[in-house]
Chain A
Amino acid sequence: MRVILASVSVGILLATLSLQAHHSFSATYDGNKPITLRGKIVKLGWQNPHAHLYVDVTNADGKVVTWEVESAGPTTLMKQGLRKEDFVGQEVVIKGFLAKDGTPTVNASSFTLVEAKKEFVNDEKAP
Chain B
Amino acid sequence: MTRWAMAVSVAMTLGAQAISIAQAAPEFSGMWRLNQSKSSRAIVGNTPDIQFASQLEVKQSATDISIVATSIRQQPVSAVYKLDGSKVNVQAPEGITETGEAKLDGTTLVITSRRSFSSPAGDIVVDFKEVWSRSGNELTVEKTRTQSGDSSTQKAVYDKL
Residues of chain A having any CB pair with chain B under 8 Å: 24-27, 30-37, 57, 59-61, 65, 67, 72, 95, 97-98, 102-104, 107-110, 121-125
Contacts and interface: CB of A to CB of B under 8 A. Distances in A.
A30 B145 CA distance: 16
A110 B91 CA distance: 28
A36 B119 contact: no
Query: Which of A35, A67, A97 has the most CB atoms of chain B within a 10 A radius of its CB?
Result: A35
Contacts of A33: 96, 117, 119, 124
Contacts of A35: 119, 121, 124, 147
Contacts of A36: 147-148, 150
B71 to A, nearest CB: 6
A124 B49 contact: no
Contact of B96 (A32, A37, A67, A102): A32
A125 B120 contact: no
Contacts of B121: 35, 37, 57, 59, 65, 67, 104
A26 B148 contact: no
**Chain B: interface size category:** 20 to 34
B135 interface: no
Interface stretch (B3-11, B25-33, B38-46, B57-65): B38-46
A34 B77 contact: no
B106 interface: no
B137 to A, nearest CB: 26
A95 B121 CA distance: 13
B51 A97 contact: yes
B77 A97 contact: no
Contacts of A61: 122
Contacts of B45: 25, 124
Contacts of A110: 49
B119 A98 contact: yes
A60 B124 CA distance: 11
Nearest to A125: B41
Given A32-B75, A97-B51, A109-B48, A60 B122 contact: yes
